[in-house]
Amino acid sequence: MVSLTLPISTNINRAIPKNSFDKYTNTKQRKQFSEYVDKIRWTNKLSIETINLNGKEISEIQVFEIRLKKKEKITDVLAVIDRAIPYPIIFKLIYQDEAMFSVSQKHPHPLNENNTVIDWTFSSEWFQEDSSPFALNLKQSLDHIFTDFCKQLAGKQFEKLTLVELVQHEQKLKELNRTIANLEAAIKANKQFNKKVELNLELKKAQMELQELLNI
């Protein structure tokens, strides 16, 4: 079993029926719940009552364990659960002897108080279930715990970056990588010398911006 080594006081250990989220799903998503998800269990809750730590932005962190029928990251399924529950959720996905973590930064929907909007999702690669490289460091505040775990999953320990800044960093990184891939394809396809020169200049600029981001 994947363990985050949490105090007994945080234990919930409650099964959650898959159909609990039916009202938040469309036909395709309900099919994914059925096809990929075996069991959902709410395993832990981190809060002032359970670990004597609070937060300015976060009042609770939930930990869900999802056992899978197939080895899939089930991004759409996790998004459904995340939007339905207002608190940050750390998902532990388990398939046979492998596991991975996923967690999303989100904010309340401005027009629907019963829904949330996902800003960014941090996910690990699959690892052997009995050798998790990740840990929840229960210190300072719930905000710190959550931000620290997101940084672990991102593989970046930017001490000076807040969670919002980290999300912006990852969004910019994704945008630059997409821009670079598009420019490289355009350069390869273009026959005009002058246009190639122009595109190469844009490519070098984007590559420099990417390097600056990676060196933060």
Residue pair 100/132 in contact (Cβ under 8 Å)? The answer is: no
How many structural domains are present in the chain? 2
Read off the pLDDT of each residue in 60-88 and give the average, rounded to a whole number.
94
Q: Are residues 151 and 48 located together in one domain of the fold?
A: yes
- Domain assignment of residue 2, yes or no: no
3-state secondary structure of 108: strand
Q: Are residues 114 and 203 located together in one domain of the fold?
A: no
Q: Are residues 140 and 66 located together in one domain of the fold?
A: yes
Compute CA 152 distance to the chain's CA centroid, rounded to the nearest angstrom.
11
Average pLDDT, the chain: 90
Q: Are residues 36 and 85 located together in one domain of the fold?
A: yes
Q: Which residues pair with 62 in a beta bridge?
A: 45, 89
Q: pTM surpassing 0.75?
A: yes
Q: Are residues 136 and 96 located together in one domain of the fold?
A: yes
Q: Is the pLDDT of residue 97 over 50?
A: yes
Q: Are residues 149 and 185 located together in one domain of the fold?
A: no
Whole-angstrom Cα distance, residue 15 to residue 33? 15
Residue type, 70: K
Q: Which helix (H) or strand (E) holds 191?
A: none
**What share of the chain in percent tops pLDDT 90?**
65
Q: Is the pLDDT of residue 86 over 50?
A: yes
- Domain assignment of residue 43, yes or no: yes
DSSP assigned state of 44:
E
Instruction: Give the helix ranges, DSSP H, for 85-162.
Output: 142-154
Q: Are residues 143 and 190 located together in one domain of the fold?
A: no
Q: Are residues 152 and 175 located together in one domain of the fold?
A: no
Q: Which helix (H) or strand (E) holds 187?
A: helix 163-189
Which has more pLDDT, 102 or 111? 102
- Domain assignment of residue 162, yes or no: no
Q: Are residues 135 and 179 located together in one domain of the fold?
A: no
- Domain assignment of residue 3, yes or no: no
Residues near 19 by beta carbon (within 8 Å), at least 6 away in sequence: none
Chain position carrying tokens 């844009």? 202
What's the pLDDT score for residue 54? Answer: 94
Tell me: the pLDDT tens digits for 148-207? 999 999 886 677 788 888 888 888 888 999 999 999 999 989 888 888 889 989 999 999
> If pLDDT is split at 50, 70 and 90, which confidence band does 3 have?
low
Chain position carrying tokens 């056992």? 67
Compute CA 94 distance to the chain's CA centroid, rounded to the nearest angstrom.
16
* Domain span including residue 126: 8-157
- Domain assignment of residue 136, yes or no: yes
Which has more pLDDT, 213 or 63? 63
Q: Are residues 19 and 69 located together in one domain of the fold?
A: yes
Q: Are residues 64 and 137 located together in one domain of the fold?
A: yes
Q: Is the pLDDT of residue 116 over 50?
A: yes
What's the pLDDT score for residue 196? Answer: 86
Pairing, β 89-95 against β 60-68 = parallel
The number of helix segments (H) and strand segments (E) in the chain equals: 6, 7
Tell me: the pLDDT tens digits for 15-39? 999 999 998 999 999 999 999 999 9
What's the pLDDT score for residue 112? Answer: 76
Q: Are residues 12 and 118 located together in one domain of the fold?
A: yes
